[in-house]
Amino acid sequence: METNTITVFKGDGIGPEITDAVLAILDAAGADLDYEIFRVGAAEYEENGALIPEEGFASFEKTHVLLKSPITTPLGTGFRSLNVTLRKKYDLYANMRPAKSNAAVKTPFEHVDIVMFRENTEDLYAGVEEKIDENTAHSIKIITRKCSERIVRSAFDYAVKNKRKKVTCVHKANIMKLSDGLFRDVFYEISREYPGIEAEDKIVDNVAMQLVMHPETFDVIVTENLYGDILSDLTSGLIGGLGLLPSSNMGTDFAMFEAVHGSAPDIAGKGIANPTAFLWSACMMLEHLGKQEISAKIRRAVDEVLKDGTILTPDLGGCAGTEAYTKAIIERL
């Protein structure tokens, strides 16, 4: 795409802090972007009765590119997840979450390089629930051929483009024979169109075990909505935590980029939030916009700061604040 205007949702919790940090770094790197910035989330809901102002929707529908910081979702009551709402409204069906080891961040796993493709619009996250009586609630799992085909194809297309060797389908078809069985069947049908890529399938509970025993055996993973959400948090743990896991949500016409982690209200306003995952999500956005050189420059600067190890946020084992960490990256630029 060729555009210099993007929509920005600041979110709540640590959202505004890491948004300011990321935009400062983008500007320092010469990204040459204009921003239409909106406050969204809990505070906007409490004050104006809407999660997103109408102007925010209109902006996204004009720019087609959204950089969205974390937003608090109430547990059990209140409004529905804004992430789910946006994904459904704009059919952002392909959620990609790359987890790659960084030599500067020490973990028990040194060679993790896994890209998770998560179907984003159906499964249990479709939100089709029914209260049967005061003691019984049903949640309906929805899997369709259409949505399964396009997420599987996205994973294989990515594998070909990026010279990956294997795609693993994750499911629970041994128990959910119709729904997960359909997803697995579609996977193997599509895989025949990509003879140069190894195709395999594994049951989700086995994958959870194998990821912490032999993560190096995984390359590209494609899976349903709920499994992808859970397993991508697991893969973040292999590389140092959610503060290092970026994310993109792609549809036919719209693209949204966000960090995987939550709004962390417990540390909001303390100036210690780690903006790295959100920054790397912004790098994925730059690449989507055709600004690969700017993205590469930012990634190198972050790697240098992490490798130096003297100015790190507390979640990375340091004692620096968000502002100092941001400044260090900008100085490297």
CA 74 to chain centre: 20
> What pLDDT is attached to residue 80?
57
- Whether residue 156 is predicted with pLDDT greater than 90 in this model: the reply is yes
- Whether residue 2 is predicted with pLDDT greater than 80 in this model: the reply is no
> What pLDDT digit, counting tens, does each position of 289-303 carry?
999 999 999 999 999
- pLDDT above 90 covers a percentage of the chain that reads 75
- Tell me the C-alpha to C-alpha distance, in Å, between residue 306 and each of 96, 231, 275, 303: 24, 25, 13, 5
- Whether residue 71 is predicted with pLDDT greater than 90 in this model: the reply is no
* Other CB atoms within 10 Å distance of the CB of residue 2: 6
> What pLDDT is attached to residue 76?
45
As annotated, the active-site residues are: 125, 172, 205, 229, 233
Backbone angles phi, psi at 220, to 5 degrees: -110, 135
> What pLDDT is attached to residue 201?
98
Q: Residue 126's pLDDT band (boundaries 50, 70, 90)?
A: confident
Query: What integer is the mean pLDDT of 257-283?
Result: 90
Q: Which of 65-79, 141-155, 166-180 has the lowest mean pLDDT?
A: 65-79
One-letter amino acid at 20 equals D
pTM confidence score: 0.89
Cβ contacts of residue 69 below 8 Å, gap of 6+?
8, 9, 10, 11, 14, 15, 16, 18, 19, 258, 259, 278
> What pLDDT is attached to residue 75?
47
* CA angle, 92 then 23 then 80, to 5°: 35
Q: Which of 41-55, 119-133, 144-158, 201-215 has the lowest mean pLDDT?
A: 41-55
Query: What integer is the mean pLDDT of 313-317?
Result: 88
> What pLDDT is attached to residue 73?
63
> What pLDDT digit, counting tens, does each position of 80-95 carry?
567 778 888 999 999 9
Q: Residue 77's pLDDT band (boundaries 50, 70, 90)?
A: very low
Query: What integer is the mean pLDDT of 169-182?
Result: 97
* Residue 14 DSSP SS3: coil
> What pLDDT digit, counting tens, does each position of 14-57 carry?
999 999 999 999 999 999 999 999 988 777 777 887 788 899 99
